[in-house]
Structure 1
């Protein structure tokens, strides 16, 4: 979905949502509702997803629209990085949406525990990235991705509803079937660079 059509729809929806939040005139609010409907129809035509489903997913929030936060953990053991095998058959750094009651640190550590069964300690922010610049975008809203270097403390994989197995990979033997909307090869190599260069600065867009 990385194209200008989607970008325009996202911008129209954002303007409409802000207008509905702060607009006072009932006629202006009607216009903002119409803009929101147009944005949903644009995405529906582009994706072949029914307008009502687009509207439920894309136009269901109130207040000023802001990006969602996704945290990803880079856990190294003996120079290899931990990846988890998703239910859909792809590999990814452990992580996920930052829950409303969690900080970046606590959410990162929680996700590793849930997906890999490991206890880790967050030590450093590797990068803060706008995923539109780095990932295959499959959501019609902004996402800020935060990559965190973590120290392995212990634990072992346990069966769960999100992942089927875990494995450690070296930089020259990364799997080809990555969940590129979650992490790309370039982002994993970025984590290796931070791990191998302790004084490396945090990267951000």
Structure 2
């Protein structure tokens, strides 16, 4: 989704309207208030559909499972380096591009355990989680615009054993030099973020927005 500055502002406004509607529906007690919040949600769905060139019903279905107090979605990823300082990347089945192993946080699993699980499923490697490297708000970085507001946690992982890919979301895994990265899935990770993660792990630092 490629947008100009005006469309990005409209996207941010529509996401905010939808968050207000979702939170309002969670707390509303009167039918009158619920009706008004439903109307706001419908307006936001129509705006998001127009901006993203999607059908309004498809957008409504995408957000149908979002309920309760509106919060950013949480993306958990893991940076794993080998003995030569190459970074582990996985090739996404969805777009054929490369990214750090990771995905949406799972309910009932801690962030660190989630990161280790994603590495195992998407690359075949088992890792120990060493520490947290970064907490990033994707709105503060040059990612392509997203319908969701997303926060990203990136952990540092240390290889324990190698194995086979067991997940369905990736088709390949490999280690790459920081200065010779393959084509990245920019909605998931940016080249400058990978360079920053390497810097953070070498200097024992953590980055946050």
TM-score bracket, normalised by the shorter chain, equals over 0.9
Which of 183, 187, 197 aligns to 1:181? It is: 187
1:50 CA displacement? 0.8
CA distance in 2, matches of 1:76, 1:22: 46
1:158 CA displacement? 3.1
Q: Note if 1:192 corresponds to 2:192.
A: no
8 A contact 2:128–2:158 mirrored in 1 = yes
Partner of 1:204: 208
Which of 102, 126, 130 aligns to 1:119? It is: 126
CA distance in 1, matches of 2:145, 2:9: 14
Larger displacement relative to structure 2 (14-23 or 157-166): 157-166
8 A contact 1:40–1:59 mirrored in 2 = no
CA distance in 2, matches of 1:63, 1:159: 33
Equivalences, count: 202
Which of 21, 31, 34 aligns to 1:29? It is: 34
Q: Deviations over 1:114-164 (max 9, x none)?
A: 011111011111110111112524542221100101111111343642222
Larger displacement relative to structure 2 (60-69 or 146-155): 60-69
Partner of 1:8: 13
CA distance in 1, matches of 2:153, 2:135: 5
CA distance in 2, matches of 1:160, 1:69: 20
8 A contact 1:82–1:168 mirrored in 2 = yes
CA distance in 2, matches of 1:37, 1:80: 47
Q: Note if 1:103 corresponds to 2:116.
A: no
8 A contact 1:72–1:148 mirrored in 2 = yes
Partner of 1:68: 73
Q: Deviations over 1:3-42 (max 9, x none)?
A: 0111010111111111111122322221111111000011
1:170 CA displacement? 1.4
CA distance in 2, matches of 1:141, 1:19: 18
Partner of 1:92: 99
Q: Which runs of 5+ in 1 are unaligned?
A: none
- Root-mean-square deviation (CA), in Å? 1.6
Partner of 1:130: 137
8 A contact 1:13–1:59 mirrored in 2 = no
Q: Which runs of 5+ in 2 are unaligned?
A: none
